[in-house]
Structure 1
Amino acid sequence: MGLELIVMTSLVLLWMAKTTSAGLNVSLAKEGCQAWCGGIRIPYPFGIGANCYINAMYSVECRRDKLYLTLLTGIKLEVLNMSVDSFAQFNGFAQVNNPILSRSCPGGNGSSDVVHGNTIVDLTGSPFTFSERSNVFISVGCNNHASVTNLVDRTTAQCISICDGSPDRDNSCFGINCCQTTPPGNLSYHLRVFNVNLSRIETYNQSGGVHEPCMYAFLVDKDWFRYNLTDPFAIRGMDHVPAMLEWNLFTMEPSQLGIPKYGGGSCGKELYEPSSNIHGVYCFCYSGYEGNPYLPYGCRGTFILGSSLLYFKVHL
């Protein structure tokens, strides 16, 4: 009579779903502070009221269910989206409404010296910069010469569009009725304030081209432009388009945040603006964790529980 012993091992894994800010509707705001304005989240270090933001540069306003950045220059920018996620070079981001510049449009008698729209949005003295990698500078129109100048280091980017009377248009903007260029700016001189110039490269001819006297220019979120405007002339009648801003904790130290050391996230320091030797603080959640790293224990993640069960089968 033989003895057979069979050992079977089963590992049971219990995967606990990610405890995300979206899944459990966890607030990204400081405790006791307004967490939403309309459909826009308000993540700390931003907030409404002196006890809800980290300092005055991160103060926001909620008016008629619309969220606004309140810049020290007096300009208010409507916020379309805001995130504490590491977006580019350890920066968070904010998507805002940015003005469109137009020239020679009906209503201004078609005169070349009539300009509509705010030509300058100044982010000086704020923690925000225009994202060079996520925005694109666009000019729409016939025989346009458009330029955008970084007013900090005076670098300029420009593009030219020629005329085409074809009704078939797309948003490729490679020089036919529409052109594009990368906005000026670099790690040493971030784009905080710029000026736009629009001019004709030749006399406009109503018998040719797209029969469009207007010239348009704007800095825009390139993904929004790509996926939302199949025809660049759809910006007729629009005053603003979405643009991307980057931010971090300007001129601060990690110790000022009071973030304890824990497994979910961490804060660091980087040279934010080399030309001015200005440092900034960025925080992030580790892989597998989500939430707001700027709050104590604000990053939440996944856990795996395991157990082993042994089964014996004996034959005599």
Structure 2
Amino acid sequence: MPLHLRLATVAVVLSISWATAAADLRRPITLPGCPDKCGNISIPYPFGTKDGCYFDDTFSVTCNLSTTPPATLNDLLTLRGIGYYFGDQANPIGTRTNRSWWTVDLINVDVTRGEARVSMPFSSDCSLNESYHELNLNDMSLNFSTTFLFSATQNVLVGVGQSVRARVFGDMARNNYSAACNSLFDTPAVAQDGLCKGLGCCQAELAPGLVGIMPSMYYQSNSMWKTFPCTYSMVVDRSWYNFSLQDLYGYKVLDKRFPGGAPVVLDWAIRNGSCPAEGKPLPMACRSGNSLCVNATNGYGYLCKCKDGFDGNPYIPDGCQDIDECALRQEKPELRDSYPCNGICKNLIGGYDCNCKFGMKRDSNGTCTPVFPIPAMLLFEEKRKTKEFFIKNGGPILEKVNNIKIFKKDELKAIIEPCNVIGKGGFGEVYKGLLDNQLVAIKKSINVDRSQEKQFANEIIIQSRVIHKNIVKLIGCCLEVDVPMLVYEFVPQGSLHDILHNQSNNVSLSLGTRLNIAAGAAEGLSYMHSKTSTTILHGDIKPGNILLDDNFDPKISDFGISRLIAIDKSHTKCVIGDMCYMDPIYLQSGLLTKKSDVYSFGVVLLELLSRQKAAFGEDRTLVKAFLDCYREDKQVLELFDKEILADKDIGVLHKLAMLIVECLELNVDRRPEMTDVAERLHSLKRSHKN
């Protein structure tokens, strides 16, 4: 049998339920004496890895700890085919050059839902030139098993590509089946991360009862193969894949991001009968005393469930145990809506009781009503929330830091008014106001990355210690709200982007002023890269993040994307930033380095000198036009703003053009360091004055 497929990077969880996992991880999930794990994959009964440990042969799992991943479902196979076709032909015909059968890796089992997740490789169509297409097609069959069916509710057909017509062929009770979806765009700007509605990504629903699937693509030519070489088709767990623009660029990007393929959800059930009439004994598979039987919704058969108020594995004796709802409310706040209680929670077997809190009493309808006046209760609740937010946002740590001021919510209340808004966007709003006799800008975000909440205090400490004339200073923060508010020094002239491109207020910018802006911004970046105790990478350098004071001295802003990064930990899980200024090497690899900021600075410098907006697309219009002129030895200075094209400055402008070319080098090792960029710009600034 061929080599084992590698599992995609999918979190493996014992999916009996939230409640079981939180309440007691020591509860048994399989029969006595039977292994409950294969490596790090939980194997709950009716599944098993040894004789006597599974319900019947269709639930047997092969466990081989010498492979990664170690668990495979028996009787399930994937047929993997490799081939090619020529897209420039009128009616392309595909040719398969190799076929082989592969075993199917198990990702996890959900006893409560009657589901198993397995991995399946992506089907792909990759253009190696204008004509030749390389095909990788995969076919998964359940025909050898009576237990599993592909889930029509949890799976979906997904196509990814600049121009893709994804399709899936299937088999349902000896009837042929197919579904398809289309995706097409002319410019990448119309596609959006997370949106799968026909622009870069498409999807189609599946029919129930499928026992075989083969995702593929319609054959077609690809005129944009250099930028978008591959298209993909997959049947996948609809909750797993989140479309990213990065998946469109590069050769077999999805295969590199997810080496083991994508998770597919299989519905399973006990297929040898159905639930008995009410009052009749439960079928033999439902062994727990607190279990019940429900008929399968996909195919014939039944599933066992725990009764309300109980959770666990209903297929083993005493598997369904009481849920401690009160403990869960404390441990998992997201479950409080499932177990509502506005009073004091008391656990009962098979349920829970809710007694009234202090200051409340139960009325004739059983509802807790306040004994004290409502305003007093509201004030008490407001103080409680304020304290809770303060602690959650790292207040106990930050109030010990000397160079950061912690503001109370009431101190900022007068500034956080609609009339004081000076900036608004997807991130939230920025307000201008007077605080302690100093003009400040207050950034109020509309949401927060919950996964980064615990790092917030550390980020604030880092920002408060970055003190440089060319970096916007963080004065303090307010922690008494759900999403902390940040207080910065106010920079009066706004952003470089607004100065360059505001048509209603066209500000004159001499070459000297532009050199001052470029040298100062470079010095700020150089400080972040080389003159702090640990390297700080910005990751989103653009004119919108360079603010100007009354003297047109620049200050770098927006550390929202910045992270304190050790040199050996620079890989990001996803690429973040403005595409117009992004280093193409970072775009392809996800590796953020100091040289990524150097590239972005090169684009900013070009925009500053040309007063033309950078644009992101197949040709990156401004950058491509500049580099083409330079390489072809054309009049590159003709792209620069006519306002600065004085004869006496031609030498300086040529040196600036050379510096831009070096910053935009695709070979990152040939790009200069920001310290070198700053020194050269300061030298040009001095020579221009003289």
TM-score by length of 2: 0.36
Contact 1:145 1:198 in 2 (8 A): yes
Structure 1 position 94 matched with structure 2 position 92: no
SS of aligned partner of 1:129: strand
Larger relative contact order (Cα-Cα within 8 Å, sequence gap ≥ 6): 1
In structure 1, C-alpha distance between the alignment counterparts of 2:180 and 2:314, rounded to whole Å: 39
Give the structure with the higher percent helix: 2
CA contact (8 A) 2:42 2:108 kept: yes
Look up the match of 2:194.
171
1:79 aligns with 2:106: yes
CA 109–53 in structure 1, closer or farther in 2 if over 3 Å, else same: farther
User: For residue 30 of structure 1, what is the aligned residue in structure 2?
Assistant: 31
In the alignment, the residues of structure 2 paired with residue 58 and residue 77 of structure 1 have an alpha-carbon distance, to the nearest angstrom, of: 14
Distance 2:218 2:76 in 1: 32
* Structure with bigger gyration radius: 2
Asked if 1 retains the 8 angstrom alpha-carbon contact of 2:149 and 2:298, the reply is: no
The corresponding residue for 2:222 is: 204
Identify the residue that residue 138 of structure 1 maps to in structure 2.
158
- Which of the numbers 229, 232, 237 marks the counterpart of 1:221? 237
Shift of 1:217: 0.5
Report the equivalent of 1:128. 148
Deviates more, 1:55-64 or 1:20-29: 20-29
2:585 counterpart residue number: none
* Distance of 2:37 and 2:59 partners within structure 1: 15
CA distance in 2, matches of 1:247, 1:291: 18
Give unpaired runs (5+ residues) of structure 2. Answer: 1-17, 78-100, 276-281, 324-346, 354-690
Paired residues for 1:1-316 under 5 Å = 20=20, 23-24=23-24, 25-64=26-65, 66-71=70-75, 73=77, 75-85=102-112, 87=113, 92-106=114-128, 111-112=132-133, 114-118=134-138, 120-126=139-145, 127-152=147-172, 153-166=175-188, 169-183=192-206, 185-186=207-208, 190-200=209-219, 203-206=221-224, 211-226=227-242, 231-233=246-248, 235-237=254-256, 238-239=258-259, 240-252=261-273, 257=284, 259=286, 262=289, 264-269=290-295, 273=299, 279-302=300-323, 304=348
The question of whether the paired residues in 1 share the 8 Å contact of 2:20 and 2:311 is answered with: yes
Residues 75 and 169 (structure 1 numbering): CA distance in 2 closer, same or farther, change over 3 Å? same
In structure 1, distance between residues paired with 2:274 and 2:51: 20
Deviates most, 39-48 or 296-305:
296-305
CA distance in 2, matches of 1:231, 1:286: 45
In the alignment, structure 1 segments of 5+ residues that lack a partner are: 1-17, 274-278, 307-316
Q: CA RMSD in A?
A: 3.0
Aligned mates of 1:32, 1:117 — CA distance in 2: 42
Tell me how far apart the structure 1 counterparts of residues 102 and 178 of structure 2 sit (CA, whole Å): 24
SS at match of 1:155: strand
SS at match of 2:240: helix
Instruction: Give the TM-score normalised by the residue count of structure 1.
Output: 0.74
Deviations 1:112-165 (A, max 9, x none): 3x32142x1001232111111111211111221121122223232111111343
Amino acid at match of 2:164: N
